Amino acid sequence: MQWETVIGLEIHTQLATQSKIFSAAPTAFGAEPNTQACAIDLGLPGVLPMLNAEAVRLAVRFGQAINADIAPRSVFARKNYFYPDLPKGYQISQYELPIVGTGRVEIVLDDGTIKTIGVTRAHLEEDAGKSLHEDFHGFTGIDLNRAGTPLLEIVSEPDLRSPAEAVAYAKKIHQIVRYIGISDGNMQEGSFRMDANVSVRPVGQKTFGTRAEIKNVNSFRFLEKAIAFEVERQIELIESGGTVIQETRLYDAVKDETRSMRTKEEANDYRYFPDPDLLPLEIDDAFLSAATADLPELPDAKRTRFQSEYGLSEYDANLLTASRELADYYEAVARACNEPKLAANWVSGELMAALNKSEGEISASPVSAHALAGLIARIQDGTVSGKLAKQVFEGMWSSGDTADAVIEAQGLKQITDSSAIEAMIDAIIAANPAQVEQYRAGKDKVFGFFVGQVMKQSGSKANPAQVNELLQRKLSA
Partner 1 sequence: MSLDCTDIDKIAHLARLAIAPDDRTRYATDLSRILDLVAQMAAVDTTGVTPMAHPLHMAQRLRPDLASEPNQRERFQSIAPLTEGGLYLVPKVID
Q: Which of these, 339, 344, 315, lies nearest to 327 by C-alpha position? A: 344
51 near partner 1 (CB under 8 A): yes
Residue closer to partner 1, measured from CB, 97 or 164: 97
| Binding region for partner 1 (CB under 8 A) out of 131-139, 187-195, 325-333, 369-377 | 131-139
323 near partner 1 (CB under 8 A): no
Residue closer to partner 1, measured from CB, 59 or 355: 59
Shortest Å, Cβ 213 to partner 1: 17
10 Å Cβ neighbour count for 135? 7
Residue 67 is given by DSSP the state: T
The Cα-based distances of 440 to 53, 161, 436, 444, 445 in angstroms read 83, 65, 6, 8, 11
Shortest Å, Cβ 273 to partner 1: 10
Contact between 325 and 360 (Cβ < 8 Å): no
| Binding region for partner 1 (CB under 8 A) out of 111-119, 130-138, 218-226, 235-243 | 130-138
DSSP 6-35: EEEEEEEEE---SB-SSSS-B--TTPSTTT
| Binding region for partner 1 (CB under 8 A) out of 49-57, 298-306, 441-449, 469-477 | 49-57
80 near partner 1 (CB under 8 A): yes
Residue 106 CA to residue 118 CA, distance in Å, equals 9
Shortest Å, Cβ 65 to partner 1: 20
267 near partner 1 (CB under 8 A): yes
Among positions 188, 240, 243, 263, the unique one binding partner 1 when judged by CB under 8 A? 263
Shortest Å, Cβ 461 to partner 1: 58
The Cα-based distances of 75 to 65, 175, 222, 333 in angstroms read 22, 28, 34, 47
User: x/- string (CB under 8 A) for partner 1, residues 132-151?
Assistant: xx--x-xxxxxxx-------
Q: What is the 3-state secondary structure (H, E, C) of 406-428?
A: HHHHHCCCCECCHHHHHHHHHHH
Shortest Å, Cβ 325 to partner 1: 24
Residue 70 is given by DSSP the state: B
252 near partner 1 (CB under 8 A): no
Contact between 140 and 131 (Cβ < 8 Å): yes
Among positions 50, 405, 455, 475, the unique one binding partner 1 when judged by CB under 8 A? 50
Residue closer to partner 1, measured from CB, 26 or 464: 26
Among positions 189, 265, 297, 314, the unique one binding partner 1 when judged by CB under 8 A? 265
14 near partner 1 (CB under 8 A): no
Shortest Å, Cβ 77 to partner 1: 9
Q: Which of these, 76, 82, 204, lies nearest to 150 by C-alpha position? A: 76
264 near partner 1 (CB under 8 A): yes
10 Å Cβ neighbour count for 93? 19
Contact between 344 and 310 (Cβ < 8 Å): yes
Residue closer to partner 1, measured from CB, 279 or 353: 279
Residue 154 CA to residue 169 CA, distance in Å, equals 12
96 near partner 1 (CB under 8 A): yes
Q: Dihedral angle at the C-alpha atoms of 413, 415, 420, 426, nearest 10 degrees? A: 130
Shortest Å, Cβ 38 to partner 1: 4
Residue 443 CA to residue 446 CA, distance in Å, equals 6
Shortest Å, Cβ 144 to partner 1: 7
Pairing state of beta strands 257-260 and 248-252?
Answer: antiparallel
Size of the site for partner 1 (CB under 8 A): 61
Shortest Å, Cβ 334 to partner 1: 36
Angle, alpha carbons 23-28-33 (nearest 5°): 85
Q: Which residues bind partner 1 (CB under 8 A)?
A: 17-19, 23-28, 32-39, 42, 44, 50-56, 73, 75-76, 80, 82-84, 89, 96-97, 131-133, 136, 138-144, 262-265, 267, 269, 271, 274, 276, 278-282
